[in-house]
Chains A and B, each alone.
Chain A
Amino acid sequence: MEAVSCRCYQFNLLLVMLFVTADIISTVEFNHSGELLATGDKGGRVVIFQQELESKNQPQCRGEYNVYSTFQSHEPEFDYLKSLEIEEKINKIRWLPQKNAAQFLLSTNDKTIKLWKISERDKRPEGYNLKEEDGRYRDPTTVTTLRVPVFQPMDLMVEASPRRVFANAHTYHINSISVNSDCETYLSADDLRINLWNLEITDRSFNIVDIKPVNMEELTEVITAAEFHPNQCNTFVYSSSKGTIRLCDMRASALCDQHSKLFEEPEDPSNRSFFSEIISSISDVKFSHSGRYMMTRDYLSVKIWDLNMESRPVETYQVHEYLRSKLCSLYENDCIFDKFECCWNGNDSVVMTGSYNNFFRMFDRGYRQDVTLEASRESSKPRSVLKPRKVCTGGKRKKDEISVDSLDFNKKILHTAWHPQDNIIAVATTNNLYIFQDKL
């Protein structure tokens, strides 16, 4: 199914909601309908927002999200064997497709994955005649009538309960989880291994990729991200710190150390430097909704790959090429190791990723246009359209442009998410969550 290129994406984005969180946001994810938006933070908490239903009185309120549920997913732990703390920070959240009234999501920290059930309760049974006023049970011999309790409405209560805990399967830090299209299994990936789980079974997982060398001192490459194919339940990809992506078919063998396809772009010799490898490290990989393409994010660019062509990407978008001459400074202050995520819009025509100075970038694949926008309170008045931003790379700085040297590298947008159907995006700065929607 080919992606349909729609109208020109000169986004008229309005700030709809702004949430200030208690802790640094570490992951953002819409559910499959887009009605719910989950965020995880450094303190191990999950906050879920729900979209308000369209109201006839105020049609422009579609897209407003309000807090739906908050719960503590993970707690800090201490590994006594290694004398090291295990952070409670939520690395990833992935929603399961909805099967019944309840919602399910997987959340993970560095070591443990948990399946959470989020359910609503808005009625309760009332009218029992088995208890006294004060709550004590009546003497059964005094009960002479049979009364069937009736469900009465009550204030909506949203409950989150942990249904499964998948622990002790990862020696290294988990960076990705991905639910299979079969809705029965999911994968979890750490720096050196990928495990396959059944959602029902917590005490067993199958190792499907292992790149750990026999001698750890020979280690030169780690796994950075992994994802199941959206349609083919036997296919998954994983990316590495050397800028390669491997596509694996689980039908080929139990251990998928031998890839089916290896996606790698040859290095450009004119751009070679001591930092070449570091900036080629892939921080995120995402399949398109169609399953025909996948997108990778490395430090300076976003690349779109056709799954049928391994030799090079079909499209490359420069996110912030002006940083190429600053790589040494960015190495000094560790910014070069920042892991930016990327995402597709609903029909795969636009891709989005974050940058520094609270900028985020959108690339329209069809119209070959891109835009830089800013998520900040100063530049985002509610209901006013976001103004495109521009970074001045040299020479005279025009009005409204910002020079490279003025960029704030502490303000980084690592996590962004796009509603599966509508033009609603969620953008996380350090501890602010911005929700923008397209002007109706």
Chain B
Amino acid sequence: MYSKGTKRKFYDSVDAATDNKAALYSRQRQSLLDMSLIKLQLCHMLVEPNMCRSVLIANTVRHIQEEMTHDGSWQLVTEAFGSSGPSDHLVATEVLCRSSALEQQGGGPKLYSVMGYDGCREEEVVTDEALCSVTFSGGAPSLLGTIDHCWDRAELRMAAVEDRVIKDSGSEVESGEGAKTVMGQVFGTFEIKNGAPGSDPALEELFSAVDASYYDLDTMLTSIQSTPKMGPYNLLDSMASSHGPTSNSSCRTDLSELDHIMEIIVGS
């Protein structure tokens, strides 16, 4: 059922007004980017995802990335993420909704959070718990909380997937590409593709870190334990600090079970 969101406080912790607003804007833009990437990743359902929605979200991500590249903050993202940011990381995200957000800000806009939409069960859990209702103690751990749920979803989906006939997952895994782009992942389900030719190197870079090929968890797990990738914002890097071996091993167990079933089905 519908319920109201929690009011959040806006903590003004930086002296210079314009600096604060710019920093706030870029944090909110970051949070919008995170939200969008999660939405794209959670597109994998039993029914084909809505293409219009996927395209619009992907365009939003592209737009944010272009703006971040343009104002030079793209390189600073990793550093900003590593440092302990103020607790208002995800506060007042609706400021992003306004065009001249910086001018229009009064004193602490009230965040209106609308929750509980039946049609998007997966995302409801993620956004509800991680993005809407919690005041965060620190920037980095809160986002990790988001990713935590992402992994939970992945594990649950692995279990669900075992019950299904999976014929073309083989073609996706065996296609030879290491990490497909999220775009390819989303749009690739609409037709059988044999390759994922990279078109936009910047986008590839953007998505390579957050690629979630659910049939290729091994690659992701390996990348966590290795040194963080160079380049832009990398969700997986943040996970490295919070995920111990235990959660990895449970993923691995599911994965080996899935492999076993795959062998039976594919008859290799």
Chain A residues at the B interface, C-beta cutoff of 8 Å: 80-87, 110, 171-173, 191-192, 215-222, 224, 241, 269-275, 277-278, 281, 324-335, 337, 404-405, 408-410
- The yes or no answer to B51 lying at the interface (CB within 8 A) is yes
Decide: A325 and B98 in contact? CB cutoff 8 A: yes
Q: Once bound together, how far apart are the Cα atoms of A80 and B50, in whole Å? A: 19
Decide: A274 and B55 in contact? CB cutoff 8 A: no
Known: A215-B199, A216-B190, A328-B94. A83 touches B48 (CB 8 A): no
B interface residues, tally (CB under 8 Å): 68
Decide: B52 and A325 in contact? CB cutoff 8 A: no
CB < 8 Å neighbour of B55 from A86, A241, A408: A241
- Pull 6 A–B residue pairs with CB atoms less than 8 Å apart, ordered by A: A84-B46, A217-B184, A220-B55, A220-B62, A409-B2, A409-B117
- The yes or no answer to B189 lying at the interface (CB within 8 A) is yes
CB < 8 Å neighbour of B167 from A80, A270, A404, A410: A80
Q: How many residue-residue contacts, CB under 8 A, span A and B?
A: 160
Decide: B120 and A328 in contact? CB cutoff 8 A: no
Cβ of B70 to closest chain A Cβ, rounded Å: 14
- The yes or no answer to B212 lying at the interface (CB within 8 A) is no
Cβ of B188 to closest chain A Cβ, rounded Å: 7
Give the interface segment out of B11-19, B106-114, B234-242: B106-114
Decide: A83 and B165 in contact? CB cutoff 8 A: yes
Give the interface segment out of B79-87, B124-132, B141-149, B219-227: B124-132
CB < 8 Å neighbour of B99 from A173, A215, A272: A272
Decide: B127 and A273 in contact? CB cutoff 8 A: no
Residues of chain B contacted by A217 (CB below 8 angstroms):
181, 183-184, 187, 196-200, 203
Beyond the given A217-B197, A218-B199, A272-B99, please list 5 additional residue pairs across the A-B interface where CB-CB is below 8 A.
A110-B48, A171-B190, A219-B55, A325-B97, A334-B53
Q: Mark B70-106, 1 if CB is under 8 A from A, else 0.
A: 0000000000000000000000011011111100000
Residues of chain A contacted by B117 (CB below 8 angstroms):
333-335, 409-410
CB < 8 Å neighbour of B51 from A80, A215, A222, A278: A222
Decide: A405 and B169 in contact? CB cutoff 8 A: no
Q: Once bound together, how far apart are the Cα atoms of A334 and B183, in whole Å? A: 19
Q: Mark B165-179, 1 if CB is under 8 A from A, else 0.
A: 111110000000000
- The yes or no answer to B115 lying at the interface (CB within 8 A) is yes
Cβ of A260 to closest chain B Cβ, rounded Å: 24
Q: Once bound together, how far apart are the Cα atoms of A14 and B90, in whole Å? A: 46
Q: Once bound together, how far apart are the Cα atoms of A318 and B158, in whole Å? A: 45
Q: Once bound together, how far apart are the Cα atoms of A329 and B62, in whole Å? A: 20
The 6 closest A-B pairs by CB, nearest first: A327-B97, A216-B187, A328-B94, A191-B51, A217-B183, A272-B99
- The yes or no answer to B32 lying at the interface (CB within 8 A) is yes
Known: A85-B46, A216-B187, A329-B114. A324 touches B56 (CB 8 A): no
Name B30-82 residues within 8 Å CB distance of A: 32, 35, 39, 46-48, 50-53, 55-56, 58-60, 62-64
CB < 8 Å neighbour of B94 from A325, A337, A410: A325
Q: Once bound together, how far apart are the Cα atoms of A335 and B115, in whole Å? A: 10
Cβ of B109 to closest chain A Cβ, rounded Å: 8
Decide: B97 and A173 in contact? CB cutoff 8 A: no
- The yes or no answer to B244 lying at the interface (CB within 8 A) is no
Q: Once bound together, how far apart are the Cα atoms of A171 and B190, in whole Å? A: 7
CB < 8 Å neighbour of A83 from B58, B167, B188: B167
Cβ of A84 to closest chain B Cβ, rounded Å: 5
CB < 8 Å neighbour of A333 from B111, B115, B165: B115
Known: A216-B188, A217-B181, A327-B94. A81 touches B63 (CB 8 A): no
Q: Once bound together, how far apart are the Cα atoms of A332 and B199, in whole Å? A: 29
CB < 8 Å neighbour of A82 from B1, B168, B197: B168
Identity of the chain A residue whose Cβ is nearest the Cβ of B92 in the assembled complex:
A328
Name the residue in A173, A329, A410 with the highest tally of chain B Cβ atoms < 10 Å from its Cβ: A329
- The yes or no answer to B5 lying at the interface (CB within 8 A) is yes
- The yes or no answer to B27 lying at the interface (CB within 8 A) is no
Cβ of A191 to closest chain B Cβ, rounded Å: 4
Q: Once bound together, how far apart are the Cα atoms of A327 and B120, in whole Å? A: 17
Decide: B32 and A328 in contact? CB cutoff 8 A: yes
Residues of chain B contacted by A216 (CB below 8 angstroms):
183-184, 187-188, 190-191, 193
Q: Once bound together, how far apart are the Cα atoms of A409 and B114, in whole Å? A: 8
Residues of chain B contacted by A328 (CB below 8 angstroms):
32, 93-94, 96-97
Cβ of B182 to closest chain A Cβ, rounded Å: 10
Known: A215-B199, A221-B55, A224-B52. A271 touches B169 (CB 8 A): no
Decide: A83 and B55 in contact? CB cutoff 8 A: no
Residues of chain A contacted by B48 (CB below 8 angstroms):
82, 84, 110, 173
